[in-house]
Structure 1
Amino acid sequence: MDKRYQLQFIVKEDGQLLRDALADFGISKRTLTAVKFDGGALYVNGEERNVRHPLQGGDVVTIIFPPEEVSEGLIAEYGELAIVYEDEALLIIDKPAYISTIPSREHPSGSVANYVRGYFQRQGIASTVHIVTRLDRDTSGLMVIAKHRHIHHLMSEQQKSAQLQREYEAVVEGHVKIEKQSIKAPIGRKDSSIIEREVCADGQAAHTDVTVLKQGNKNSLVRLKLHTGRTHQIRVHMAHIGHPLVGDDLYGGSQQSLDRQALHCVFVQFPHPLTGEVMIFESQLPENLTQPLNN
């Protein structure tokens, strides 16, 4: 059985060349080159064709993508994945805290990527792991994972055009006085650290919307919408306005009541990369994250 990833679509009008129809379907030039030269194939009505083949309305085009090479450094592990949704293109999970998205020198195993690779092996999915939306190790919540490089490409294009929307909830120190505000402050790497980021004039543009949901005794529960996806964006922006996340000691938050940043991805929305259907996923804020509101 051919385990290579494949897609089909039906041509809607006469006169297009196959290469033009593929471009309309979202196949990039780079992907098409890989299909042509790295072990893929193109079929029209079950017969192999080249990109100059003229199409008629109603033709069925099948794209067979070349095999994906899985990194030898990514070890397959078999742990629990909290799967929220799955189809032939996507895997949506609800990540707990204290688990890295990808392996690192400090945490070479036990990452989401390790577990997803193990899951793909068991399911017979001939693909490497494509993380679309990363979360920091100590951040919990919804994550989007693509099952193929082409799907990853389509989702990356959605991120660039702001079609993929993410929202978070966080408990931050102090009472945030402005009920709704938009933080537009560029973020770059801090000179004295390989990990820490900061707001700086020569950084990359970063935009976060902040809405206050609830005021506690000393802290605030806020909802955050990302318009860009910079590393540590929420953590840096909230610290920048004087309200670091509870538990985020890297950016000035206290760990007295929580040993990790109080941050959870609660909402993801995007059009499905193949069907265009609007997909909406939500996750509840873990109870232990709301406890600092009452301290």
Structure 2
Amino acid sequence: MLKTERKGEWLFIHIPSKWNGMTIEEIFHTVLYASKKQIHLFKMGKKVMLNDRYENWKTTVQTKDLIKIKLFNDDATAIQPTYMDLPILYEDDFLLVVNKPAYIDTHPNAPEDHSSLLNGVVFHVLMNGEERQVKHIHRLDKNTSGCILFAKHELIGNILDQMLRERKIKRTYVAMAHGFFSAKFGTINKPIGRDRHHGTRRRISVNGQNATTHYKVLQQLKKDNLSLITCSLDTGRTHQIRVHLSSINHPLAGDTLYGGKAVFPRQALHAVKIQFTHPITEEKIECYAPFLDDPAIFPSIDIYSI
């Protein structure tokens, strides 16, 4: 675990042994995943110090050196802040996890759209006295609820984006699907592409992107002919769970776009858990998102046992 501390606008990182012999520039390139433009701005803005001195970025660091990064200065955003009563699951100086309600977009779809979850998160951060370039690391469909991860700084967003690409951010969903599954566990490996005949739909396509979904059956609701399942993804394609479950004749309950019956006002899909290693402190973070629907869609279950 990295030893870090915040002092005003500065982040202090005590150099660990695994960084020994790296240059300052290498740390920003290979550990923090900073772009060339970002590195240029850090250099020109004199936002990085090594042991209280502005060193050449080719300088190598040694264990127990202290690198200081001016990370917490105000950074104006183009996103309109909008008040929302947000269920915050985790927050620190670097990131936050929100339990997204259903019927709200993850981000604005047009400049005049001020009603997305991102607008609400920007407002929340601003009310905490921070003006930040907040970024969503992944997204959920408008009618899907649950955990969404946001970065408070562009540099943190870079690291989290890379972690997502490397499948180091694990997300678990709970879903209600029509019918009963033939096995308690299963994996769906089918490529997903756009449906040329429908603007918002996706479909199984041999020319689509690779997609893998794992599922586990938790309960069978025999009276309603529904199965309560969990899903985890190796990939993050648009509508992936919805398309995959529909392709094996178990569409999500309420998901009329993909063949589900309108037994609920929305598709019965909830991102119940997110797990990742903190990009700065290297602590293990695990967040659980309680169900928000009223009236309830999902049966009463212990989400912390998932």
Q: What TM-score, normalized by structure 1, do the two folds share?
A: 0.88
SS at match of 2:215: strand
8 Å CA contact 1:18–1:51 kept in 2: the answer is yes
**Structure-to-structure mapping, 1:225-244, within 5 angstroms:** 225-244=232-251
| 1:152 lines up with 2:157 in the alignment | yes
CA contact (8 A) 2:89 2:288 kept: no
Which residue is 1:115 aligned to? 120
Residue 27 of structure 1, CA deviation: 4.2
Give the SS at the match of 2:203: strand
Secondary structure at the aligned position of 2:197 is classed as coil
Instruction: Pick one of 173, 182, 186 that aligns with 1:181.
Output: 186
Is 1:5–1:126's contact at 8 Å kept on the other side of the alignment?
no
Q: Structure 1 residues 16, 102: closer, same or farther in 2, change over 3 A?
A: closer
Q: Which residue does 1:124 correspond to in 2?
A: 129
Q: Which digits, 9 at most, give the CA deviation of each residue in 1:216-236, with x for residues without a partner? A: 121111110111111110011
C-alpha separation in 1, matches of 2:274 and 2:41: 31
Q: Structure 1 residues 236 and 16, CA, compared in 2 at 3 Å: closer, same or farther?
A: closer
Q: Give the whole-Å Cα distance in 1 for the aligned partners of 2:21 and 2:95.
A: 33
SS at the partner of 1:52? coil
Listed one character per residue, the Cα deviations across residues 65-105 of structure 1 (whole Å, up to 9, x for unaligned) are 5864412xx21111111011111111111111111111225
Percent identity, please.
32
Once the two structures are superposed, residues 34-75 of structure 1 have per-residue CA deviations (whole angstroms, 9 ceiling, x without a partner) of: 3224x352112222223123444432111225864412xx21
Question: 1:286: how far off?
Answer: 4.9
Give the residue type in structure 1 aligned to 2:151: A
Cα deviation code 1:192-220 (max 9, x no counterpart) = 12211111001111100011111112111
Q: CA deviation at 1:249?
A: 1.2
Root-mean-square deviation (CA), in Å? 2.4
CA separation of 1:63/1:135 partners in 2, compared to 1, >3 Å: closer, same or farther? same
* Residues 1:64 and 2:54 aligned together: no
Q: Deviations over 1:110-146 (max 9, x none)?
A: 2111111111221122312210121111111111111
> Are the equivalent residues in 2 in contact too, given 1:102–1:112 (CA < 8 A)?
yes
Q: Could you list the runs of 5+ residues in structure 2 that have no partner in the other structure? A: 1-6, 300-306
Which structure 1 residue ranges, 5 or more long, are not aligned?
A: none
Number of residues of Structure 1 aligned to a counterpart in Structure 2: 285
User: In the aligned structure 2, how far is the partner of 1:172 from the partner of 1:125?
Assistant: 42
Match of 1:8 in 2: 12
CA distance in 2, matches of 1:15, 1:224: 42
Contact 2:46 2:54 in 1 (8 A): no
Kept in 2: contact 1:208–1:234 (CA 8 A)? yes
Cα contact 1:69–1:128 (8 A) shared by 2? yes
**Structure-2 separation of matches of 1:40 and 1:199:** 50
Report if the CA contact (8 A) 2:81-2:114 is conserved. Answer: no
Q: 2:272 maps to which residue?
A: 266
- Which of the residues 53, 73, 80 maps onto 1:75? 80
2:298 aligned with 1:290: yes
2:40 maps to what in 1? 33
Q: 1:210 to 1:54 in 2, by over 3 A?
A: closer
CA deviations on 1:234-287 (whole Å, 9 max, x unpaired) are: 0110111111111111111111x2110000011111111112111111123456
- Mapped contact 2:74–2:130 kept (Cα < 8 A): no
Confirm or deny: 8 A CA contact 1:213 1:223 kept in the other structure. yes
Partner Cα separation in structure 2 for residue 56 and residue 135 of structure 1: 42
* Contact 2:101 2:292 (C-alpha < 8 Å) held by counterparts: no
> Residues 240 and 62 of structure 1: is their aligned pair in 2 closer, same or farther, counting only changes over 3 Å?
same
Which secondary structure state, in structure 2, belongs to the residue aligned with residue 121 of structure 1? helix
Moved more, 56-65 or 222-231: 56-65
1:249 to 253, 256, 260: 256
Q: What's the TM-score, normalizing by structure 2? A: 0.85
Go from structure 1 to structure 2 and tell me whether the alpha carbon gap of 1:12 and 1:274 turns closer, same or farther (over 3 Å shift): closer
SS of the residue aligned with 1:151?
A: helix
